[in-house]
Structure 1
Amino acid sequence: MTVTQPKARPVHEEPDHEPALGEVVGDLKSDVTRLIGEQLAIAKIELKQEAGKAGKGAGALGAAGFGVYMVLMFGSLAAVYGLGHLIGNGWAALVVAGAWLLFAAVAGLAGKLMLGTITGPKLTIATLKENLEWARSLKK
């Protein structure tokens, strides 16, 4: 028994007639809907990445805030001991407060640098600009 393969059709057949306006509008509507969906998906991904950067920067600023709290706590403790004894434990507490101040400064600068790298959804904006130019070219 011999099996014959069906004749393959070309991938793209030329239509015998021009497509109707309704077909063109339907295709355009479908394409625009898909394009908007894809743009929204890209925007979500970009915003999620930027939110991660913002979270890290906020965490560093939170650490800086805790450092400031420690400076106030140990600074106050140092002032109490320093005024009470003029030497001894108070000066030790003052050294600890200085160390916390250094920590707060480093954490604050790190947080500021991290937050400064947030750029927003650049790819989405660029793609939307390209789409706008394409839509404008259709009007001409």
Structure 2
Amino acid sequence: MTVTQPQAEPVHRAGAPDEDRPIGVILTDIKGDLGRLVGEQLAIAKAEMRQEGVKAGIGGGLIAAALLGGFMMLLFGSLAAVYGLGHLLGNGWAALIVAGVWLLFALFTGLIARSVLKRLNGPQLTIATLKENLEWARSLKK
């Protein structure tokens, strides 16, 4: 899902030039434009955060899977040590192989989770737009 910035309406309304309009009407228009601008910025931020939330959820799920794999490796590794010391051959080797498989699973899912979480960016479009708005507001001050 990509986020696109909504198209803004033109600031100047059809009709009389600005110098012929009463100051109250101009201020009302400015208030409405600012309200619409803030609303659009919030909508963009929500959409971007929703996208980042999905990525974070996937990364969190993969971390949980890696933790499960690590737990299973410890469980089967412990069982392998018990069987290995008890019998020196046989059941211990089987448990050790299972523990090795779980270790590989934990490493694999942990690496995938790390790469997914590194790709989290935050609301980049919102930040860029807010910077543009700040520059615009500063240019009006001059």
TM-score range, shorter chain: 0.7 to 0.9
Give the alignment partner of residue 62 of structure 1, picking from 64, 69, 91: 64
Runs of 4+ that moved beyond 3 A: 11-17
* Percent identity for Structure 1 against Structure 2: 62
Gaps of 5+ in 2: 1-12
Q: Which residue of 2 aligns with 1:74?
A: 76
User: Structure 1's 16 and 133: CA in aligned 2 closer, same or farther, altered over 3 A?
Assistant: closer
Q: Which residue of 2 aligns with 1:108?
A: 110
- 1:50 and 2:52 correspond: yes
Q: Pairwise mapping of residues 1-140 of structure 1 onto structure 2 (< 5 A)? A: 12-15=14-17, 18-140=20-142
Distance 2:110 2:134 in 1: 41
Give the secondary structure class of the aligned counterpart of 1:118: coil
RMSD: 1.5
Distance 1:20 1:99 in 2: 77
Q: How many aligned residue pairs are there?
A: 130
What do residues 56-91 of structure 1 show as CA deviations (whole Å, max 9, x unaligned)?
Answer: 000000000000011011001100100000111101
Gaps of 5+ in 1: 1-10
Larger Rg: 1
Q: How far did 1:18 drift?
A: 2.1
Structure 1 length normalisation: TM-score?
0.88
The one-letter code sitting in structure 1 at the alignment partner of 2:85 is L
What do residues 16-75 of structure 1 show as CA deviations (whole Å, max 9, x unaligned)?
Answer: 952222222111111001000000001000000000000000000000000001101100
Q: How far did 1:15 drift?
A: 4.2
